[in-house]
Amino acid sequence: MQPGNETEISEFYLLGISEEPELQPFLFGLFLSMYLVTLTGNLLITLATIFDAHLHTTMYFFLSNLSFVDICLSSTTIPKMLANIQLQRRVITYAGCLTQMYFFILFIGLDDILLTVMAYDRFVAICHPLLYTVIMNPQLCVLLVLGSWIIIVLSALLQSLLVSRLSFCAPLEIPHFFCEYNQMVQLACSDTFLNDIVMYFVTVLLGGGPFIGIVFSYSKIVSSIHVISSALGKYKAFSTCASHLSVVFLFYCTSIGVYMSSFSMSSAHTSAQASVMYTVVTPMLNPFIYSLRNKELKGALKRLLGGKA
């Protein structure tokens, strides 16, 4: 790998989801609406879990962290895309591109690990209910969240530093609506072997590891639910993790589907359009999924908004 930025790169060009001029007003209105819904929904859940004493539990502590991360994830990519559409400019500075890439890796990784932590919380609640308050004590919960932040911050920093050492070749056009790691590496003129090795290692460790943890937790949950004799007991046990399971399914199916299908896509813009699912749609839907059948959360939201619970 050749150190330094030999071409004196100052800016990149984000081609966005579509370059058709007639589609730009529609895309601006669509993504502005989705961004506002994402902010409103996740902010309400965060505020409800903070100010409502009924939600000062382990499950809602993790949920508030997930909502905060979803706000940050959407804010990393959508505002810049909206500004580019409105100003009819596709330029992003070199420093801005590296910064955006760093925060995207950070928040998408935190989403992944927090979903795993929440799966473990549901596993303890269903499989070891009598020991739940002992195992999932406040100290452990804080350590789990803090540990997640430390691991992902270091991982994102390592990958960003490796990209910063690459030299790039013109044209510096990224066929995406944000500075995605793989797209930037593909623009490099210098050797990217180390970048590829680190990316595969991080994907296996921080992508495959949490996925295996979630599968293990739910395999134990299913086994515990299976031995419950009454249908009502099974329903109550399953309902405690149905929302989380829905979010996990949506997150992994969309993200894995995007990266698996990207190898066979002839159009780079198609990959960008598919990425909208896990970068924009999933954070927007999470508040609805968690509040749809959750009476405690719906009651807290009504109290927060001044209504009757």
pLDDT at 120 over 50: yes
pLDDT-derived band at 6 (thresholds 50, 70, 90) equals very low
The CATH number linked to 176 is 1.20.1070.10
- Does any domain span residue 3? no
Average pLDDT, the chain: 87
Percentage, residues of the chain above pLDDT 70 = 91
- Does any domain span residue 194? yes
pLDDT-derived band at 89 (thresholds 50, 70, 90) equals confident
Q: Read off the pTM.
A: 0.91
- Does any domain span residue 2? no
pLDDT score at 221: 92
- Does any domain span residue 88? yes
**What is the tally of structural domains in the chain?**
1
pLDDT score at 7: 47
pLDDT-derived band at 260 (thresholds 50, 70, 90) equals low
- Does any domain span residue 180? yes
- Does any domain span residue 133? yes
Question: In whole angstroms, what is the distance from residue 17 CA to residue 53 CA?
Answer: 43
Q: Which residues contact 294 (CB under 8 A, 6 or more apart)?
A: 243
pLDDT at 121 over 70: yes
- Does any domain span residue 181? yes
Nearest Cα neighbor of 175 from 1, 10, 16 is 16
Task: Supply the range of the domain harboring residue 149.
Answer: 11-304
pLDDT at 283 over 60: yes
> Could you tell me the strand order of the sheet in which 11-14 lies?
91-93, 11-14, 173-174
- Does any domain span residue 6? no
Question: In whole angstroms, what is the distance from residue 100 CA to residue 83 CA?
Answer: 14
Question: In whole angstroms, what is the distance from residue 277 CA to residue 275 CA?
Answer: 5
Task: List, for residues 198-236, the tens digit of each pLDDT value.
Answer: 999 998 998 889 999 999 999 999 998 888 777 777 787
